[in-house]
Amino acid sequence: MIRAVTEQRRGSPMIVLFTDFGLEGPYTGQVKAVLFRTAPGIPVVELFADAPAGRPKPAAYLLAAYGVWFPPGTVFLAVIDPGVGGPRLPVIVEAEGRWHVGPDNGLFELVMRRAESVRTWEILWRPETLSASFHGRDLFAPIVARLARGELPDHEPRAPGIGRQTDWPDDLSEIVYVDRYGNAMTGLRGNLLSNDARLVVSGCTLRRASTFSDVQPGEAFWYENSNGLAEIAVNAGRAADALRLAIGSPIAVLR
């Protein structure tokens, strides 16, 4: 699958994990063990270990927003994979110099759609031992490690139709993530919304603010978060609790 030929890469290699594996149980640890053994010395960063569990659609908007913060040369192991062990294909997606490895269930749809240049490969390599339920460890992590070392797929990329979900919108009017402070991220890019745009959730209409300290304690608002997503928050409070928001909650935009 991978040949020992080094492509000239821009940027410094770093491996970034975007999964629903959690950190405390055995899954991330085993993935990191594979990466440390196969790509020694390359830093591994856990970006999300609590991405939307088993839900590639909201995860796709989250990955697209957070991935572009990393420089070209970064290799993402992105695994939200409810169909593991079934017929879905394992893929490599290279988009503007960032490499992504994971299942073809739409998780990379927004990364591909927003990139100027995209190459896609089906992963044909299989390990000697492939468990039915943990491709993150057995199949994706070895590929990630070899890409991070500068190796390349040994066959031609496919036309980038693999793993597409062309019916998904460019921005998703839903909650895609709730963080530990109770802030609720949407699948909407903040810079595409006007300063006057209001978001309607759970019957409440929220105006935009720059950040928490711009509003009164207890007041709900939305703002463009540090990775560009419109995010619903309450100053000194928990927006998701106050407004009963969870992944998938719908949002209306008043422009």
Dist. CA 73–CA 148, nearest whole Å: 8
Q: Work out the burial of residue 97: count CB atoms within 10 Å of its CB; fewer than 13 is exposed, 13-18 middle, 19 or more buried.
A: middle
Q: How far is the CB of 85 from a copy of itself (least distance, A)?
A: 4
Q: Between residue 89 and residue 128, which ones bind a copy of itself under the rule CB under 8 A?
A: none
Q: How far is the CB of 24 from a copy of itself (least distance, A)?
A: 4
Stretch that binds a copy of itself, among 90-98, 102-110, 114-122, 219-227 (CB under 8 A): 219-227
Dist. CA 111–CA 25, nearest whole Å: 28
Please report whether residue 48 would count as binding a copy of itself according to CB under 8 A. yes
Which position among 6, 154, 181, 252 is part of the footprint of a copy of itself (CB under 8 A)?
181
Which position among 40, 128, 194, 216 is part of the footprint of a copy of itself (CB under 8 A)?
40
Closer Cβ to a copy of itself, 180 or 255, answer by number: 180
CB 141 within 8 A of CB 34: yes
Please report whether residue 168 would count as binding a copy of itself according to CB under 8 A. no
Which position among 7, 128, 159, 180 is part of the footprint of a copy of itself (CB under 8 A)?
180
Q: Which residue has the tokens 């990329």?
A: 157
CB 90 within 8 A of CB 135: yes
- Give the interface with a copy of itself as residue ranges (CB under 8 A): 12, 14, 16-17, 20-30, 32-33, 36-37, 40, 43, 45-50, 53-54, 66, 69-70, 82-86, 131-134, 137-138, 177, 179-181, 210-214, 223, 225-227, 236
